[in-house]
Amino acid sequence: MTTRVPDTSEKWGSAVNTVVIGATAEQGGTRTSTITIGGAATLPFLSFEDSIGHRPAIAGEVWDSGADTWPETLKAYGDTMASPGAWAKKAVEFGAQLICLRLAGAHPDSGDRSAEQCAAAVKEVLSAVGVPLIIWGCGVDEKDNDILPAVSAAAKGENCLIGTAREKNYRTLVAVCLADRHKLIAESPLDINIAKQVNILCSDAGFPLKDIVIYPTTSALGYGLEYVYSIQERGRLAGLRGDKLLAQPVICDVGFEAWRVKEAKGPTFDSVTDENRLRWGPMWEAATATVLLQAGAELLIMRHPDAIREVTKALDRFTTTTKA
């Protein structure tokens, strides 16, 4: 006698939007490749239920200046960190599929670099590598309103992903991304209603929802990651059920969060004798990234090459199609 196993798989009524980053020569840009994220019609990696969409992508984080403030255990890129172009090339060699250029040097307290200097850094990276580019402002609204129009124009036609648009600072970014044909990162705190509100504001200002990537902010392993997971999962469930304001792919700033924690920065505790102590940082970053992938992240910004390698291996396993 054969026992019939009931089908417990879920079927959803909608899917995550797909967003293409980068433009080749045929598309009006100079990139040698493009990256497509999103498209999942089920929860992360449940290929036995429906399509898991495009494979999540990893971006290597590069700063325009100020990398000397990074902990020693993170300076795996060596002397290339003095030049955003050279640093970007090394990040691609280490496995990054995109480059996230963070304009940290534009922050008023960290160099206050001009719009012209920021635009020059963007052009340097675009010349150095052929992968798509994410451009991330300094996080100060007034300064970002000054520099982002210039960097957007410097990359016009390259279909970059630029951010971040926030509830109180979205108009300038929407305008420049529309004018220069870029995609947009919409930032919100860990609050689904605010995430929807930012998307509404950007949409009302004329930016298409299908070209938005959500950044709901994150945290690192051991620092509230379980709450982040629950919020991201709720957002993904809403998107799969047909909520068009939560159907966007998700980007997570993994490296920034993971390397803020004291455990990741190196042998800061005299009582610690673990011979793997210097590997804690990459391990912390990789573990954080792996959790966020399973919460629904489609695009990760990462720092340490060892962490990038480990997460790439995890993605190889997660995206192997299996049938129930």
- pLDDT tens digits, 292-307: 999 999 999 999 999 9
Token pair 């290929």 is at which residue?
Answer: 47
Per-residue model confidence (pLDDT) at position 68: 87
d(CA 84, CA 87): 5
Per-residue model confidence (pLDDT) at position 8: 61
pLDDT per residue as tens digits for the range 2-51: 555 455 678 898 999 999 999 999 999 999 999 999 999 999 999 999 99
pLDDT per residue as tens digits for the range 221-244: 889 899 999 999 999 999 999 999
pTM of the model as a whole:
0.92
Residue 175 has pLDDT above 90, yes or no: yes
Per-residue model confidence (pLDDT) at position 3: 55
Are residues 197 and 68 in contact, defined by beta-carbon separation less than 8 angstroms?
A: no
Residue 323 has pLDDT above 50, yes or no: no
Per-residue model confidence (pLDDT) at position 274: 61
Are residues 108 and 319 in contact, defined by beta-carbon separation less than 8 angstroms?
A: no
Q: How confident is the model at residue 160 (pLDDT cuts 50, 70, 90)?
A: very high
Point out which residues pair with 135 in neighbouring strands. 101, 162
Per-residue model confidence (pLDDT) at position 168: 84
DSSP annotation of 267 reads S
d(CA 124, CA 88): 9
Residue 1 has pLDDT above 70, yes or no: no
Residue 176 has pLDDT above 80, yes or no: yes
Query: How large a percentage of the chain has pLDDT more than 90?
Result: 80
Q: How confident is the model at residue 190 (pLDDT cuts 50, 70, 90)?
A: confident
d(CA 72, CA 68): 9
The number of helices, as runs of H, and strands, as runs of E, in the chain is 9, 10
Per-residue model confidence (pLDDT) at position 106: 96
Report, as an integer, the average pLDDT of 136-155. 96
Residue 314 has pLDDT above 70, yes or no: yes
Residue 322 has pLDDT above 50, yes or no: no
pLDDT per residue as tens digits for the range 249-258: 999 999 999 9
Residue 156 has pLDDT above 60, yes or no: yes
* 76 alpha-carbon distance from chain centroid: 20
Tokens of 13: 């009524």
207 SS3 class: coil
Q: How confident is the model at residue 71 (pLDDT cuts 50, 70, 90)?
A: confident
Per-residue model confidence (pLDDT) at position 324: 39
Residues with Cβ within 8 Å of 235's Cβ and at least 6 positions away in sequence, in order, are: 192, 195, 214, 216, 246, 250, 296
Dihedral of the alpha carbons of 175, 179, 163, 43, in degrees to the nearest 10:
100
Token pair 């995550």 is at which residue?
Answer: 16
d(CA 4, CA 254): 43
Q: What letters, b where the CB count within 10 A reaches 16 and e where it falls short, cover 12-44?
A: beebbbebbbbbbeeeebebeebbbbbbbbbbb
* 134 alpha-carbon distance from chain centroid: 8
Of residues 47, 19, 15, 40, the one with CA closest to residue 212: 19
Q: How confident is the model at residue 65 (pLDDT cuts 50, 70, 90)?
A: very high
- Domains, the chain, with CATH or none: 19-267+274-315 (3.20.20.20)
Least confident of 56-65, 123-132, 271-280, 312-321: 271-280
Of residues 254, 252, 261, 242, the one with CA closest to residue 304: 254
Are residues 281 and 73 in contact, defined by beta-carbon separation less than 8 angstroms?
A: yes
Query: How large a percentage of the chain has pLDDT more than 70?
Result: 93
Query: Average pLDDT of the chain?
Result: 92
Of residues 35, 24, 38, the one with CA closest to residue 58: 35
In this structure, the strands spanning 18-21 and 35-38 are: antiparallel
Least confident of 70-74, 168-172, 264-268, 308-312: 264-268
Could you tell me which residue, 307 or 75, shows the higher pLDDT? 307
d(CA 128, CA 122): 10
Point out which residues pair with 165 in neighbouring strands. 186
DSSP annotation of 203 reads H
